[in-house]
Structure 1
């Protein structure tokens, strides 16, 4: 009786360890894929910020030109 209980306990511990290892492995894989997605998102966000800054510079340039045209029109009229 004691031998059967000991055998069952050893098998259960072994199966539990294997199951915990498999679950841990798949959680690690999911974490890695999340990290890759976050890196791509960060890159996309940096590109969006760069594009926004370029648009802001262009808008400032257009605003300066518009101000110059308004001043010219005021001086003529």
Structure 2
């Protein structure tokens, strides 16, 4: 009887080890996929900031041109 109990324990320990290994593997794969997605989001955010700065610079340039035009129109009156 004790041989049967020992065999069952060994099988349970082996199945538990394999189960833990499989769960850990898939958790690692999910973590890697999340890391790749976060890297892509970071890249997109950096591009968005660059574009936003370009738009801000262009708006400043247009604002200064508009101020010059207003000054010119006021000097004509």
Q: TM-score, normalised by structure 1?
A: 0.99
Aligned pair 1:61/2:61, yes or no? yes
Instruction: Identify unmatched segments of 5+ residues in structure 1.
Output: none
Alignment-derived partner of residue 10 in structure 1: 10
Deviations 1:4-50 (A, max 9, x none): 00100010000000000000000000000000000000000000000
Could you tell me how far apart the structure 2 residues matched to 1:26 and 1:42 are?
Answer: 24
* Matched ranges for 1:25-40 at <5 A: 25-40=25-40
CA RMSD of aligned residues (A): 0.3
Deviations 1:39-65 (A, max 9, x none): 000000000000000000000000000
Runs of 4+ residues deviating >4 angstroms: none
Q: TM-score, normalised by structure 2?
A: 0.99
